[in-house]
Structure 1
Amino acid sequence: MTRLQRLVRIAWVFCKYRLDIFLPMAELPAPLKLFFLFAPWHLFPKGSLDRGDRLRLALEELGPVFVKFGQILSTRRDLLPDDMAESLRRLQDNVPPFASATARQIIEDSLGRPVTELFAEFSRDPLASASVAQVHAATMPNGRKVVVKVIRPGIDRVIRQDLALMFMMARLLERYWSEGRRLHPVEVVEDYQTTIYDELDLQREAANASQLRRNFNNSPLIYIPAIDWDHTTKRVLVMERISGIPIADIESLRAAGVDLKVLAEKGVEIFFTQVFRDSFFHADMHPGNIFVDASNPADPRYIAIDFGIVGTLAPDDLSYLARNLLAFFRRDYRQVAELHIQSGWVPPETRVNEFEAAIRTVCEPIFERPLKDISFGHFLLRLFQTARRFNMEVQPQLVLLQKTLLNVEGLGRQLYPELDLWSTAQPYLENWMRKRIGPSGLLRTLQTRLPSWLEQSPEMPQLVHDTLVQLRNAGAPDRGDRQAAITAELAQRHADRRWRLTLGALSLAALAWLGAEEKLVPLAQNMPHYGWALLALAGWLVLKPGRK
């Protein structure tokens, strides 16, 4: 299908489901208003469906790329009203499978050998078929059970065409819609573009799975299947085949005697461990991707699959997020408002008192209810809606986190309706903050950054001197001003001395803490030779005489 044919198809679906209700008619230029007044969609009846269901049906009819976009958009409660977001959550990614012969041909082209040599058995019918890939069961020559994931043929071209059209629509929204500049529709499509292209690279998905498996090696919380790297390429992924109960099959879990309360609480613990311990989390934890190992019903374990979408957070974002959540737990709305401003999530000119009052208005009615009756996800949505009134811009780095949190809470409440996510989360966050700002956190920071500081320290005085000379030359018309040169030289000496004293103080503080914790002797025994060399260099920097 050419791009023009695809555009005509989209226009037809747009008219059929009367999506003109989403156009900002009042803000359009006069010629466009006149055009839309006689547009062909007026020939179609509006019907009885609400706007959310109409949008959902239109996306399903437009195909897998639009379905995937709608699924991601459903998590952007900062962009959509609740009714539309709820409708989009029901989008189904049920795509007819492509031919088994085609899958075999892709495997043979990618791995360079016939399927009959690669596998002792290869299932004709796929286990699952989605918008980007489909999965077949197979058995390796050594008897190991695996699954083979194969990228859908021709999907690259379809994605490129649909993304080009999405970008065109996003630019029009950004230009003609008053909310467009704040909500950044072009950036939303760019985020989706990154996500969908990442899912097309199965080597990236395999690397994500490998990282998660290492993070949770021998963990009682979750099991990550092993990757067969010898048979994995960009278009084919071979992974250990797992067996478990689908987490959405509550009846089977009950029949197996699974402790649903423990299972729900473990889901919350997995989420916070991935986010705050590893800053690397599975960001597509919907029920179709999660199974349960019920071999020990009293201590069940999660099994995850499909690692095409993962999320990461920078240390600053993690810190602000944890402090925000703890401030909410303590109902310290002033700190919440200040943290939003400090982090840059709302404009710096925001009036703290007004923002604090708005947050209190949202939160107090919610917190008067028992914590177990409070939906963490819906609470965040109300907060985002409030922050939107204060021009809070979209935070792309938090989008996947919001999506994952909503999925985790939804799963937890489905398993155990009495789940109190708040009481589960608060101790974890408080412990994480203690470790981050306590002695152990300071030691980790020193261990991580000290080599870099030592490497840069000899250059620091010269850099300070060069900067001061440049400032002097920029501000003084007489380049031969002797007084300015003397001032720069004194500033250099002072900076040199302060740098050495600061470094020495940090080193002594670390050594003192190690001694107090009785960790100095084991550290000394295990410290490599270069560690002692670095320590000696630090001492020389601290004790060497200054310039004369």
Structure 2
Amino acid sequence: MKIFRIYTTWLQFSRALQIIRVLTKHAFREWFYRTKMGKRRLRRHPKAQLDVRTTPERVRLTIEELGPTYIKFGQILADRPDIISERFRIELKKLQSKAIPIDDDTAVKLIEDELNDSIDNVFAYFDHRCLAAASIGQVYQGRLHTGEEVIVKIQRPHIISKIKLDIYLMHFVAKQLVKNYPDLVAINVLGFISEFQDKIMKELDYTVEASNIKRFEFMFKNDPTVHIPAVHMEYSTRKLLIMEKIVGITPDNIQRLKTEGYDLHQVAVNGANALLKMILEEGFFHGDPHPGNLFVLPNNVVGFIDFGMVGVLRPREMSFLAQFCMGFVRRDTRAIASSLLTLCDVKFFDQTEDMEFQIDQILKQYGHLTIEEIDFSKVMQDCINLVVLFQLKIPSGIFMLAKSLATLQKFAGNLDPDIALTPIVLPYAKKLVLTRFSPRKVAASIYDTAMDYVNLVNTLPSTVNEILYKIKEGTMHHQVHIDEKNPVTRVLRNIGYRMVSAILIIGVFVGSSILIVNTPERPYGKFALYMSSCIIVFLLLKALFARKK
């Protein structure tokens, strides 16, 4: 056990040194090219211009060099306007998860270890050449003995321990930062890192992705316009995922789609319907629907891949969507503001009028357009940005939702520049509103509220009697918890220090007086008396002058 602890400590120390080396290198370069010496070097050596970066660019390069954990962390930060500024977000969106592939023989050995069988026994054909490599996994292709073409995704070796180590260091640094800079508590750095840890650990478990695929497969089982790849659960493990290979054209390859006779407008509509069904009907959606994760199949069918990152909407967030859609259709600023406050779980907000005014200004930008012509995703993103300006806390899933809607708008707009997203959104929005505010739902809500009041009436007398009895018997106990960072705690601590100091000084003064009376020949008694007397006089003068001020 001790050897393991020593080994773990050594790994943490060596990784911390590696991180410090990367940070120091990029920080030094950032500083050097701002000095006179650096500027002189730039004038004398034009090639050095290639090493000059803006601060956001330098941050991105640092993150890329730190590895997969920090790349994923940066990608999530890029979608969080409540944490970092726009110029950093724009740069962090350039982060790529591409990585140098591991040796193919090593990857095959890992696959066989997970299968607990040889490649030849499971696959009729297996391509030993890596098809794609990312920061967490590596992808191959093959064909099962049953004749099905499949994609094989294997996790990189030791990636879990590396990421756990990085997250541990992140937590450690974040705790020190919050301790030394209390203002960081406002943006909940520790909470964000914990949330990131939860997300990335789910991505590292391929059984979670397989479960997501099965859920989407069930969702679209009766929809011929959407294709979800089948997953082979009998072969899949936490580190290995085997699923159906989708052969199609990526939606950003417009020229090829036109050449092969696809109906681009219908493809855009099918993709929009698929994502809107996920969001507004199921509250469970693909978290990263960019063109690399989409394929266009024959008959204008849209296929999805890569289900490691998904968004899940809680009941409160679904209520927000229903209220927001209702306010959007009616252009009702009060309803939209109410939906945003519902989202943030705020009942009383003293800046509601200001928020409604700002929302009204957003809607007036589209005053010359019909509701069908307004960009629904843009209005929602603007309103979310507005909430961030008011420093209200937004559930993290909403940022993923806004990103997915923006990606949907871009996907549909690239395929058909004349397409309007709002007419596609409206039927789903109306259905959501009818579902959330149906007579049955309203009646159920009223019934639950009434039952709460009935329970309150039933339990209140006995609760009051218990409290009064405990007060009468003197057995009532109160537990008071004061935060260490609370100003009250600091005042109490200072008072305690002063009292202890006063007791010590008086003790020295009294003790030295006794020593002088009993043993006048010992000099240290007089020295202690003189020193304690000087300190007491100094403190008295300090207290007198402080009162006069």
Under a length normalisation based on structure 1, what TM-score does the superposition of the two structures give? 0.73
User: Counterpart of 1:160?
Assistant: 164
For residue 278 of structure 1, what is the amino acid of its counterpart?
E
- Return the offset for 1:41: 10
| Contact residue 16 and residue 41 of structure 1 kept, 8 A | no
Specify the alignment match of 1:86 in structure 2: 90
Cross-structure match for 1:468: 461
Residues in 2 aligned to 1:66 and 1:41: alpha-carbon distance in whole angstroms: 26
In structure 2, the CA distance between the partners of 1:433 and 1:114, relative to structure 1 (3 Å rule), is same
Q: For residue 382 of structure 2, what is the aligned residue in structure 1?
A: 382
- Conserved 8 A contact 1:345-1:395: no
Structure 1 residue 5, shift from structure 2 partner: 3.4
Equivalent position of 2:22 in the other structure:
13
Amino acid at match of 2:23: F
The more displaced of 4-13 and 181-190 is 4-13
1:345: how far off?
Answer: 4.5
Paired letter, 1:99: D
Give the superposition deviation at 1:223: 0.7
Deviation at 1:375, TM superposition (A): 5.3
Structure 2 counterparts to residues 343-382 of structure 1, below 5 A: 343-346=343-346, 348-368=348-368, 376-382=376-382
1:274-333 CA-to-partner distances (Å, cap 9, x unmatched) read 11211211112122211111x22xxx1111111111121122220112212331343211
**Is the Cα–Cα contact under 8 Å of residues 68 and 93 in structure 1 kept in the other structure?**
yes
User: Post-superposition shift, 1:265?
Assistant: 2.4
TM-superposed deviation, 1:377: 4.7
CA distance, structure 1, for counterparts of residue 176 and residue 269 of structure 2: 45
SS at match of 1:149: strand
What is the distance in 2 between the residues matched to 1:372 and 1:171?
48
Partners in 1 of 2:196 and 2:464 — Cα distance? 45
- In structure 1, C-alpha distance between the alignment counterparts of 2:454 and 2:379, rounded to whole Å: 51
Which runs of structure 2 are paired with 1:11-90 in the superposition (5 Å)? 11-18=20-27, 48-90=52-94
CA positional deviation for 1:478: 11
Mark the runs of 5 or more structure 1 residues left unpaired by the alignment: 22-37, 480-548
1:98 and 2:98 matched: no
Note the alpha carbon deviations across 1:7-57, whole angstroms, 9 max, x for none: 333333334444999xxxxxxxxxxxxxxxx99997977965333322222
CA contact (8 A) 1:67 1:91 kept: yes
Q: How far does residue 400 in structure 1 lie from its aligned partner after superposition?
A: 2.3
Give the drift of 1:152.
Answer: 0.8
Secondary structure of 2:234's aligned partner:
helix
Kindly indicate whether residue 198 of structure 2 is the aligned counterpart of residue 194 of structure 1: yes
- Matching residue of 1:128: 132
**Compared with structure 1, are the counterparts of its residues 168 and 39 closer, same or farther at alpha carbon in structure 2 (3 Å cutoff)?**
farther
1:107-186 correspondence runs (5 A): 107-175=111-179, 180-186=184-190
Relative distance call for 1:405 and 1:461 in structure 2 (3 A) is: closer
Q: Whole-Å Cα distance in 2 between the matches of residues 378 and 174 of structure 1?
A: 34
Rate the CA distance shift 1:57–1:396 in 2: closer, same or farther, 3 A.
Answer: same
Aligned partner of 1:120: which letter?
A
1:264, distance to aligned residue in structure 2 (A): 1.8
Amino acid at match of 2:420: D
Contact persistence 2:205–2:238 (CA under 8 A): yes
Q: Residues 187 and 128 (structure 1 numbering): CA distance in 2 closer, same or farther, change over 3 Å?
A: same
Assess, with a 3 A threshold, how the Cα gap between structure 1 residues 374 and 67 changes in structure 2: closer, same or farther.
farther
In structure 2, list runs of 5 or more residues that go unmatched. 1-9, 40-48, 473-549
Q: In the aligned structure 2, how far is the partner of 1:15 from the partner of 1:380?
A: 40
User: SS of the residue aligned with 2:71?
Assistant: helix
Structure 1 residue 87: Cα displacement: 1.8
Match of 2:133, as an amino acid?
S
What is the match of residue 431 of structure 2? 431
Distance across 2 between alignment mates of 1:464 and 1:106: 63
Task: Look up the SS of the partner of 2:308 in the other structure.
Answer: coil
Residue 462 and residue 179 in structure 1: after superposition, are their counterparts in 2 closer, same or farther (change >3 A)? closer
State the secondary structure of the residue aligned to 2:100: coil
Say if 2:326 and 2:335, in contact at 8 Å, map to a contact too. Answer: no
User: What CA RMSD, in Å, does the superposition of the two structures yield over aligned residues?
Assistant: 3.4
Match of 2:234 among 210, 220, 230: 230
Aligned to 2:541: none
Residue 178 of structure 1, CA deviation = 7.1
CA deviations on 1:454-509 (whole Å, 9 max, x unpaired) are xxx9xx98996455323334347999xxxxxxxxxxxxxxxxxxxxxxxxxxxxxx
Instruction: Give yes or no for contact 2:175–2:190 (8 Å, CA) kept in 1.
Output: yes
- Rounded to whole Å, the distance in 2 between the matches of 1:438 and 1:360 is 28
- Give the structure-2-normalised TM-score: 0.73
Q: What amino acid is aligned across from residue 194 of structure 2 in structure 1?
A: E
Contact 2:203 2:209 in 1 (8 A): yes
* Identity rate, percent: 28
Q: How far does residue 216 in structure 1 lie from its aligned partner after superposition?
A: 0.4
1:279 aligns with 2:279: no
Deviations 1:392-444 (A, max 9, x none): 1141232321232222222222222233222321232023212333357679x
1:310 aligned residue: 310
Q: How do 1:205-354 and structure 2 match up within 5 A?
A: 205-293=209-297, 295-296=298-299, 300-346=300-346, 348-354=348-354
Q: Report the more deviating stretch, 74-83 or 111-120.
A: 74-83
| 8 Å CA contact retained: 2:226, 2:274 | yes
Distance 1:385 1:153, change over 3 A: same
Alignment CA distance shift 1:358-1:436 (3 Å): closer
Cα pair 2:328 2:336 within 8 Å, conserved: yes
How many residues align structurally?
Answer: 450
**Alpha carbons of structure 1 residues 75 and 283: separation in structure 2 relative to 1, 3 Å:** same
Q: Distance in 2 between matches of 1:365 and 1:405?
A: 20
| 8 Å CA contact retained: 2:343, 2:394 | no
**Matched ranges for 1:511-526 at <5 A:** none
Corresponding letter in the other structure for 2:432: W
Q: Distance in 2 between matches of 1:196 and 1:19?
A: 31
Q: Bigger radius of gyration, 1 or 2?
A: 2
